[in-house]
Structure 1
Amino acid sequence: MLNHASSKDINTMALVVNQPGAEFRLTPIIFNEPRDDEFLIEMMFSGICHTDILMQQGLFGDVCDYPAVFGHEGAGIVRGIGKNVRDKSIQIGDPVLLSFYTCGHCSSCENGQPARCWNFIECNFGAKRYHDKSVHARLPNGQPVSAGFFGHSSFAKFSVVAEQSVTRYPGEDIENMGLYAAGGCGFQTGAGAILNILKPTPTQSLVIFGLGGVGFTALMAAKILGLGTIIVVDIVDSKLELAKELGATDTINSSIADPVAEVMKITGRGASFAIDCSGVPSVIELLIDCIHPFGTAGSIGDAPAGVKIKIDALKFMVEGKTFIGLVEGDSVPQDFLPELVTLHKAGKFPIDRLVTVYPVSEMNRAVQDMEKGKVSPSVII
């Protein structure tokens, strides 16, 4: 039973993608009543992530049934609470930030490492409840809608949200929550890759490929740790200029210069760490060549499903290099998201330099601007 004043059906509007490749279209949908372990959330803001665009384009294969509602960087207000929700500190009317969904029973989940959930893809990209594969919503004609993307489908005005996805916002300035909406994926992924996983020391060096929300927040985190050499690579000069202002020591425009050769000039033998935030397969292949022997390369950006990358296997083995996947910054959102908010309010995590806000009616323009590299990231209201 849900503690809220509305009827069992929740009528709302959402940005629905009717089939792979279709545009986001503002459409009436009906959510079924939330279950006892779920919240009803009114979305105030939602980040737009590259993952949402890949799903809209159908580039993750058949992981999700359409029509579907995406969005996985929500910020909103609690309007209903299931009676079995475990965090009793969250009350109706509280502001919350939303993040990923987990199975809760695999080895990683049981050991307090939710970002390493063994069922992460099915839980989040399937856009259904993991345990019984039920859908959350339907169109007015009764057609099912996959509306549990990352446990919360934030491209809906109201959404039924898994309790694992909810973090109380550490403040009352609801009007500013839009700055932190992308914390639920992009910001915590970039910052967490540095602060929680790689943990470089000031004497080590880092190369960041791709300056979107993930790449910029990885840069900010490296700056917080005091790295002496932070190299960023992109093809958009305005982004490279902003990176310099935010703490990059060196910038490379890979459309006019060989990034591997430039990294070697700057570092001598290669960087200690290199991460890709673009998801471009040819860029991912460059990572191994950018690091010195026994260095670490990490992939963060989403590549289309089924894409393969090639490495020089003998050189990779002899030089003792490491290549890892970096998922959600290995974060526990309920702990890490408030930390990021605190860092921003202390002036150490200047995400306000990144965010561009669009009304929901201009969703498709926001996507086009992101794809052209004009903005990173975007938030809709």
Structure 2
Amino acid sequence: MWQLAERVEPFTDPPKKVIVIFRDFWLYCVVMGFSESAGVFPAGWYRSVQAVARKSPLLLSMGAGQFLDKELELNRPLRIESIGQGDVQEARQSLLDGLDRSLELDRLVVRLSFSQCLYLISIHRLETLRLETSTKNFPLVFNYLEDKGLQGELWVAIEKIAHKLFDQYIEQMQAKTATEESAAELESLTELLVFKFNHIRGRIKQLADKFISKVVDKFSHLLWSRRVVYTMLDLLHQLSLSLHTMDPDRRRSLVVTLPDLPHSVTVPENATKREKTVSYFAQRVEQILELAMRWSPRETTSILLEYVRSVASSAHHSGVSLATAQINNYFDLNPHNKHVPPVVSESRPSCVKDHLSLLSSSLHRRTHHSGEVAGMMTAASIMAGVSPGNEGREKQETWLNLQLYLPRNSEMLSGMGLTTSW
């Protein structure tokens, strides 16, 4: 069976009938115990179920809403008429055993029906198996959290399942050998969590915040990841622009995106809620950057300086403003005032005791040398693309132009093979 499943393409956007079929299948797997690795069935059966999980669609409500319970009860694997109170208690206990016990969860599970318990267990088992096949599948969990048909106790239970799956994701990533691919995967997930932190639904926002704290606790290098820092600052700026898009009395829902990223943020229609969204996110980004400064000040400062230098904008930019403020806080007092008594230091003007001149000179040097490097790279590409038969004349013209453009870097250009002797 697993060979057959391997040849099937994943069901990414199937019709509702297909989802109902897979929902029945996973309910059968839960009831019969096929999805348990330590069951009484042959190991090949579990391997086959894993293969199906890799290609299975998400078990979403598909707009069933309040009729989801009725749909579940009509499924053949459940046979509601033959279920006793003991079966209900067993299903509830099985759901509790698979999750982290808490008082909230205990109170919630007591209110769930037999069909709801098995539905939640089937989601948990499916996504656990899918995650075992590839850690890149974890972001799919947010599809359940954003499913409007899952409300009340069902949604809270899905939230608990998401916590459990995230812990499993962290364990699997820690067990991996550190490579560029695994680092890129962690950065990609962190970018997703940064977007979900600004979700229009408060509980998803809180969940994303908890996940961010967990992932940077286990993989602290994400705090000063250039990709993550740039994404946070760029998103902060785009969200801040939503505060000025139209008249406060006529605002509509606005979707904020960033280039080359598949994620989006829907900002609230209400002006006050928009203000809170931007304010909370700015505070969170500031906290993350402060933590990064404590752990790796030089690396973080270098990334922030490069961000400020790279943003080409003559208007206000919220990301640049926050980055500059963080750099300024890191520089603090200049060396001449570090050992001055506080009473004396407080009486001195800021221009005497601060370190902003170093910030200015650092940005100037970065801009200057970036231009030099860009010029040398352009020269190298030009020299590599000269037409046959005209090498001497074209190289000489290129060299003369570069002498005018970068008069102090002839030695560096010579080191790249651009000599003056033809």
Q: TM-score range by the shorter chain?
A: under 0.3
- Work out which structure has the larger RCO, using CA pairs closer than 8 Å and 6 or more positions apart in sequence: 1
Q: Choose 1 or 2 for highest CA Rg.
A: 2
Q: TM-score, normalised by structure 1?
A: 0.25
Q: TM-score, normalised by structure 2?
A: 0.23
Bigger proportion of residues as helix: 2
